[in-house]
Structure 1
Amino acid sequence: MFKSSAFLVITAALAVGVPARAAIPAAPEGLVYAPATVAPMSVTVRERLLPQEAVLLRRLIREGRAMIIDGQPVFGIKDSGGDKFLPGKIASGLAYLIVQTPASDPARAEYLQGFRTLSRLTLDDTNDTWGIYYYLTALEQLHAAGLLDQAVDADVLARLKTKLDWRGFVTADLKLIDLPNNYFGVAFSIAQGRHRLVWEDDAAAKALLKRMLDHYRTYSDFGFADELEGGGRFDRYSVLLMGEIAQRHIEAGLEPSPEVLKWLRASAELLLVRLNAQGDGFEYGRSIGVYGETAFVEVLSAAAFYNVLTPAETDAAYSFSAVVAQRYMDVWVDGATGSINMWDKGRRTDTYRGKHRILGENLSIGRQLLYTSALWERIGYGGKTPMTDLTRWRQTQPTLTTTWFAKGQKGRGPYDRALITRRDGDRVFGLPLINGGFSQHMNTPYFPLPFAPGIIEGAADATFPQLIARFTLDDGTVLQPLAWYKDITVTPGQTPQVRYRQDEMDRMGQPAPQADARMQAETTYRFATGRIIRRDRFTPAAPLDIRALNIEFAAFSDQARLHREGKGWRVTYGSGAVKSIALRGFDHCEVAPVDDPVYRAPTQGFKTRLRCSRAAFRMAAATDVEWSIDYK
């Protein structure tokens, strides 16, 4: 009935007993992980992560639909409470516990009975896309361990064979149904899983892989996935997707093509310059925070497995993976609740990952760390203490890199898409010049800003004008310089510069970006030591009546003092990484502490909010707006 798979090897690497739950300390501010303070990744997974997941899953077995975590019902009023992947995540989490618990341990029988009970309980619940993939991997693990018949009743398994299918979100001609293009990877993974379970042949998996790689070739010359069929959204998913595809090749025992390995190397290179001793991950776009950290681990472990990294890079990648695992338990798991916290105590994440998904987020991140830890063990790093000092590693990286995603050609329109990475000592800034596209173009994590932890960050699903000028016209139209970048030019040197222009502004108010040619923008960034300067020149195609010009800066620094500086304004901060910000082009500014749920980043809330404005004026010629930030 079943084909053998790599899951037997992977789960064998983790087939150990689950020890008593370890204490979970709170992380101090400014936590830096020196090599001597970081446990081997496999030790963190075995001694801290697995016990934490075991507690949650045992509660789930006992409490079923009545389970509540940190005040949040796990299932909600209807089936999965809005987490459309939850049944698959539950199956995956329990399968890991089952195969990692010795047969002599009474807990194994408890977990097997729990799987039988919960697989029936959630059989009619919503379980889409990723949930299907998770469920299939769980069934494979159980079969590889010879435990499938004990874990799943025959009638339930028969229904799962019908339900766990990629065809529910992909048309017969291989088009996704209302989903971004990273879901081609999910469909491919599901088709591969069904093939390994001998539920279908491998024709669909091959076709879906071809469709996905054709998308890469069509919409990027550089091996990064555009989620928007040429629209220009290149974010964490664009970098992660090739790592996920490589991981699925590993599961299936397939050899990637040279082209896939080339693209995997490109993703790895973008991440290697970002490795750091704090465990910080991806700096911009949606679903970052803890997922921005584990994305590094998924891509780099696959790159190491397929030998597209040098030995030194592999050591550094493993060291960072160990830091991410330890940081997860130190920072993201709340010791008071025993659960991941992405939503409270000053934190904010996308509505997509709302707190209604609390159990699923525990199991999803847990699974990522479990399978990547097992892969690092296969590579030869099991039980190894990190060997790379990541603070020193960062000092060896380039001070300026440009990662091209796409250039205006091949029917994609005239727009450039790129990520400029600037390293200034220990600080690394990422400047994304991309299009957030449908539902995201207006949100701060997709703004063309040099994002860096603790200095400039966005707030998920928030639209306040974070360091980006916002024009409100007399007719009520709101324009911002987003989405439509052309002629990106990067000039290296002691003070690197980035320049680009926009022949249209982005008109706010619609889910998708709207090009508005009534105003154009030319933007220049200059990166000096300890300082970033941005200057915009806005030019109307014809005179415009401006009702208001606004900008904000939400900062983690506090003890703010505002004063006039010539024709501009300056705010100095008494504490925090940002020392000061100066602005020109506004006739009024005010700064105050902020305690508002909108003004929260993935890991913490902003402490102060600067708001500047210019009153109504007639824009008959070019108008300049400038700001500069000094940082420690």
Structure 2
Amino acid sequence: MHRQKKSALAIAFGTLSALFIGGCGGSNSTGTTATTPPPPAMAANSLQAIVYGASDTSVPAGAGVPITMMGQMRALFDLIKKSPDFTQVVMDLGDGSPVHVLDTNTGDKFLPGKLALGLSYILIDMKTRGDPNYADYLATYQKITAAMITQTSGTNYLYANTSWGEYYYLVTLNNLKAHGMLNEVFSDAMLATLQNRLTFCDMFGADGSGKTNTCPAAGVPIDIASLNTAQNYYAVSYGIAGLRQKLGWSNPTFASATDPAVATMGARDALLYTLTKHIRNDSSGGFSDEASNTHTTYYDQARFDRYSTLLIGEVVERSIEMDNLANLTPELKGYLRKSVDLILPQLNTDGQGFNYGRSIGPYGDSAFVEILTAAANAGVLSQQEMQIAYSFIYKSAYRFDTFWYDPTLPTPSVNMWVKGRGTDSYRGKPRVMGENFSLLHQYMYVNAWWNKLGFGGNAPMADTDFKTWLAALPHYTLTWYNVPGDTAHPYSAALITVRDGKRVINLNLSQAPDYNSYTPYYPVPVSDKLTYGTTDLGYALLIPQVSYNGKTYIPVTYYKNLSVQESNGQVVVSFDTTRFRQAVKNATYTTDIDLQAHTVLTFAQGTITRTDTLSSGTLAGNIAIETDFTSFADFQSTTANGDGVSVTYANSSATSYGTTGFDNCALSNFDMAGGVTNPLSTTPIGQLHSNFACKTNPFALSVGTSRTFSWSLKYADLS
């Protein structure tokens, strides 16, 4: 499935110079001008109706959402505006610990940029519509942005604003310039300060604290290999350099001890050149290896997740936003098409995106949205795929407004933190204000692009047609991150997607050296409201977890001999795990134990079965095995069966679960521990309520022997 027919709708790049797009790091957003008022004929079930709404940004009749995204952004602006001291603005999510979301200690080092960009949507819209309150809101905007960019001493600033925050700010400046508002909103002195501060220098050869500007003296190049953060931040730097260039601001230059060609390029093109090499060299399958910069051997490489697929979408969109189309090469478009081919088999009628890896939840959904939008703009979608993409994006926006956004919270907000939900510590609750801005921004820029592509105000394709297209997708899809036979990447890394009726099931095999001790990176099936990992935490979720000499070991890397076959309507996946890793973050291969597993997963209609056969050539002493299944079903609706090895569920997607090979099993309440919420139970999409833990007594696994364990999970189809 590698369609690359160029869409006629994507040829109009030359007319899009006023539309700016980018990525949202730490989050994964992308920038643009404010969304436009609705066209004369706007369908209630359109992307424009959800994002912008009626001419006053209210919800159009029949749209079925509690508030438009412009309405959400205006509410955030009003929340800030009504506070005498914006640093004391509080958001209350109803969990008993309200957060001061605009103080200097939120941990969100992108906050000034997010705030400048998010609130600028309201300014641009008010100015465009001639709103009489514009001057009042402009004064508030100027007060906040000036305070946040204030120097406290030397080159230190009151608020950190690193990398993505600098990028957001530059998107803001370009958007305001496109609307003839730049010099009205920012004084010459403020622009001079921003020109000095909004650089990529903090990402190279410095501590990355964001408190200082570390650009070298004029004429002194930066070593392009001195990036002090993950390699995907070359893309952030690329966005910054390109948007500075578009404003007419100069950039520091780069040099490379190993590649003299870099010194002959401007910063923008040197960064794109380096980023392209990262994608090309660190994964033979064309995806970005998110662990390759800090892990130097094949033992430690190969973290493939949401961002591995999204990064190329951001690169393409930035190339368009900065008018760098000459460097939007067939190679880059080919990588983008691979990302499209990975996500098309996962599309669904609920607007859900990535369900494995880190930083998912609403960002998992919006990543699909961003990739499809980049592909539409780059001309790598067929005409039918354009319709499919727009229909999915509409459903994703509807899901954001009706699932992720919670108007019943004391302070209405996107919810990734309460009511049973949990997200990465990186996106801790103190960052709630910035996360609202990031996510709203993503859908606003995407809506603006689809308006430009001729879909403004259009209804998506009929649900019956969308479902017919989905039903025709392959039963399974195998996407290799590392092509078999690649000696530089000898372990199997791939995504297997299985479709069973309306249900999408993903099995992601990724080494993930820095995250493989966490359940979202386990080699287990993941599917909505059926099986789901818990961010930043690990336990024996559907894997044979080993206790040995007082330590815990798990089969979460070193995959070999991956095979995927379909027979008699069943998809059979098998692979070998050659060593078990200690279940701690950033475990090195020196702590591995000599234990192997041959794993077979069988996907049949309404049933998933896994068997693990364990063996070892040298392991001495006894080991014990545990495997857990945690369910979204209410504990009160869950029954342990009399056989002692199986359980029955009611009122949930899971209907039954059973095991073989274990000595004892126990059902327990999972959502509470010691009178407080069990952190293991809070997944990105909601709370797990029960755990069925099966264990063995200690046993010896001598040379030439093996022991097999299995589980079988039955489930109902999605309605």
Equivalent position of 1:16 in the other structure: 37
Pick which of 358-367 and 337-346 moved more: 337-346
Write the deviation string for residues 506-557 of structure 1: whole angstroms up to 9, x where unpaired: 1223424536242111111111111111111111222432353212111112
CA distance in 1, matches of 2:478, 2:585: 31
One of 68, 87, 92 as aligned partner of 1:65: 87
Equivalent position of 1:93 in the other structure: 118
- Classify 1:182/1:512 alpha carbon distance in 2 versus 1 (closer, same or farther; 3 Å): farther
Equivalences, count: 607
Pick which of 295-304 and 101-110 moved more: 101-110
Quote the offset at 1:391 in angstroms: 3.0
One of 260, 263, 283 as aligned partner of 2:355: 283
CA distance in 2, matches of 1:178, 1:236: 22
One of 29, 43, 47 as aligned partner of 2:49: 43
**TM-score under structure 2 normalisation?**
0.81
What amino acid does structure 2 have at the position aligned with 1:16? P
**TM-score under structure 1 normalisation?**
0.92
Equivalent position of 2:304 in the other structure: 234
Quote the offset at 1:569 in angstroms: 1.2
One of 707, 711, 718 as aligned partner of 1:623: 707
Secondary structure at 1:102 match in 2? helix
What amino acid does structure 2 have at the position aligned with 1:54? R
Equivalent position of 1:508 in the other structure: 583
Write the deviation string for residues 380-438 of structure 1: whole angstroms up to 9, x where unpaired: 10000111423333211110110000146656342110001111111111100101221
1:442 aligns with 2:517: yes
Write the deviation string for residues 1-20 of structure 1: whole angstroms up to 9, x where unpaired: xxx99562466772439xxx
- Classify 1:119/1:102 alpha carbon distance in 2 versus 1 (closer, same or farther; 3 Å): closer
One of 54, 63, 72 as aligned partner of 1:52: 72
Q: Kindly indicate whether the alpha-carbon contact (under 8 Å) linking 1:119 and 1:156 is maintained by their aligned counterparts in 2.
A: no
Equivalent position of 2:556 in the other structure: 482
One of 594, 597, 600 as aligned partner of 2:679: 597
Secondary structure at 1:526 match in 2? strand
Write the deviation string for residues 185-211 of structure 1: whole angstroms up to 9, x where unpaired: 111111111111111257111111111
Q: Kindly indicate whether the alpha-carbon contact (under 8 Å) linking 1:182 and 1:241 is maintained by their aligned counterparts in 2.
A: yes
Pick which of 451-460 and 553-562 moved more: 553-562
CA distance in 2, matches of 1:107, 1:296: 37
Unaligned runs of 5+ in 2: 1-13, 21-31, 54-67, 150-156, 206-221, 252-264, 293-297, 672-677
Quote the offset at 1:254 in angstroms: 2.8
Equivalent position of 1:531 in the other structure: 607
Q: Kindly indicate whether the alpha-carbon contact (under 8 Å) linking 1:13 and 1:377 is maintained by their aligned counterparts in 2.
A: no
Equivalent position of 1:225 in the other structure: 288
One of 205, 208, 223 as aligned partner of 2:271: 208
- Classify 1:512/1:409 alpha carbon distance in 2 versus 1 (closer, same or farther; 3 Å): farther
Equivalent position of 2:320 in the other structure: 250
The 5 A counterparts of 1:257-296 are 257-296=329-368
Secondary structure at 1:544 match in 2? coil
What amino acid does structure 2 have at the position aligned with 1:50? M
Pick which of 263-272 and 353-362 moved more: 263-272
What amino acid does structure 1 have at the position aligned with 2:444? L
What amino acid does structure 2 have at the position aligned with 1:340? V
CA distance in 2, matches of 1:283, 1:174: 34
Q: Kindly indicate whether the alpha-carbon contact (under 8 Å) linking 2:516 and 2:585 is maintained by their aligned counterparts in 1.
A: no
What amino acid does structure 1 have at the position aligned with 2:50? T
What amino acid does structure 1 have at the position aligned with 2:640? L
CA distance in 1, matches of 2:224, 2:561: 35
CA distance in 1, matches of 2:627, 2:108: 36
Q: Kindly indicate whether the alpha-carbon contact (under 8 Å) linking 1:585 and 1:626 is maintained by their aligned counterparts in 2.
A: yes
Quote the offset at 1:62 in angstroms: 3.4
Equivalent position of 1:303 in the other structure: 375
CA distance in 1, matches of 2:52, 2:289: 37
Equivalent position of 2:198 in the other structure: 164
Equivalent position of 1:522 in the other structure: 598
Secondary structure at 2:82 match in 1? helix
Write the deviation string for residues 307-358 of structure 1: whole angstroms up to 9, x where unpaired: 2111111111101111111111111111122211110011111111111101
Pick which of 252-261 and 508-517 moved more: 508-517
Task: Using the aligned pairs only, state the percent identity.
Answer: 34
Quote the offset at 1:618 in angstroms: 1.9
Equivalent position of 2:258 in the other structure: none
What amino acid does structure 2 have at the position aligned with 1:53? M
Secondary structure at 1:367 match in 2? helix
Q: Kindly indicate whether the alpha-carbon contact (under 8 Å) linking 2:35 and 2:445 is maintained by their aligned counterparts in 1.
A: no
Q: Kindly indicate whether the alpha-carbon contact (under 8 Å) linking 1:6 and 1:252 is maintained by their aligned counterparts in 2.
A: no
CA distance in 2, matches of 1:160, 1:543: 60
Q: Kindly indicate whether the alpha-carbon contact (under 8 Å) linking 2:33 and 2:121 is maintained by their aligned counterparts in 1.
A: no
RMSD of aligned residue pairs (Cα, Å): 2.2
CA distance in 2, matches of 1:82, 1:543: 45
Secondary structure at 2:52 match in 1? helix
Unaligned runs of 5+ in 1: 18-35
CA distance in 2, matches of 1:75, 1:338: 14
Secondary structure at 2:225 match in 1? coil
Q: Kindly indicate whether the alpha-carbon contact (under 8 Å) linking 2:17 and 2:323 is maintained by their aligned counterparts in 1.
A: no
Equivalent position of 1:427 in the other structure: 503
The 5 A counterparts of 1:366-377 are 366-377=440-451
Quote the offset at 1:92 in angstroms: 0.5
Quote the offset at 1:593 in angstroms: 2.9
Quote the offset at 1:586 in angstroms: 1.3
Quote the offset at 1:502 in angstroms: 1.7
Quote the offset at 1:112 in angstroms: 2.0
- Classify 1:308/1:50 alpha carbon distance in 2 versus 1 (closer, same or farther; 3 Å): same
One of 602, 605, 609 as aligned partner of 2:691: 609
Q: Kindly indicate whether the alpha-carbon contact (under 8 Å) linking 1:523 and 1:537 is maintained by their aligned counterparts in 2.
A: yes
Quote the offset at 1:228 in angstroms: 1.3
The 5 A counterparts of 1:456-467 are 456-467=531-542
Quote the offset at 1:280 in angstroms: 1.4
CA distance in 1, matches of 2:146, 2:487: 50
What amino acid does structure 2 have at the position aligned with 1:369? Y
